[in-house]
Copies of this chain bind each other. A is one copy, B any other.
Amino acid sequence: MFAKTPDPPYYAVIFTTQRTEGDNGYADMANRMEALAAEQPGYLGTESVRGSDGSGITVSYWDSLEAIAIWKRNTTHQFAQTQGRDNWYADYMVRVAKVERAYGRST
């Protein structure tokens, strides 16, 4: 669950979503995108939760804005983004943020 991020600063992409009804290929693509993201340069980790009402928050962490931009332009990811907008998400928000401070306890 907890991403093993380095000391700040680094970047977070906060991806808030509301799923549509039915799977329609979503689960398979979500797994593929998580695996593909993890191979990208500058990827630091992901934390993701989905509730029983279809609401979800996925936060991916990156070492630079450039790494985020390259991942956004990835061809396979672009195909998934289009499917997401058209089929899988009733609504979605993406927020790109610079993590300035982090603390807590994770095992």
| Chain A residues in the interface with B (C-beta under 8 A) | 1-2, 5, 8, 12, 14, 16, 18, 47-52, 55-57, 59, 65, 85, 90-107
Q: Give Cα A12 to B92, complex, Å.
A: 17
Which residues on the B side are within 8 Å of A52 (C-beta)? 52
Number of copies: 2
Q: Which label, helix, strand, loop or mixed, suits the secondary structure of the A interface?
A: strand
Which residues on the B side are within 8 Å of A1 (C-beta)? 16, 18, 55, 91
Task: Select which of B59, B85, B94 is within 8 A of A16 by beta carbon.
Answer: B59
The chain B residue sitting closest to A96, CB to CB, is B101
**From residue A84, how far is it (CB to closest CB) to chain B in Å?**
10
- Cβ of A14 and Cβ of B16 under 8 Å apart? no
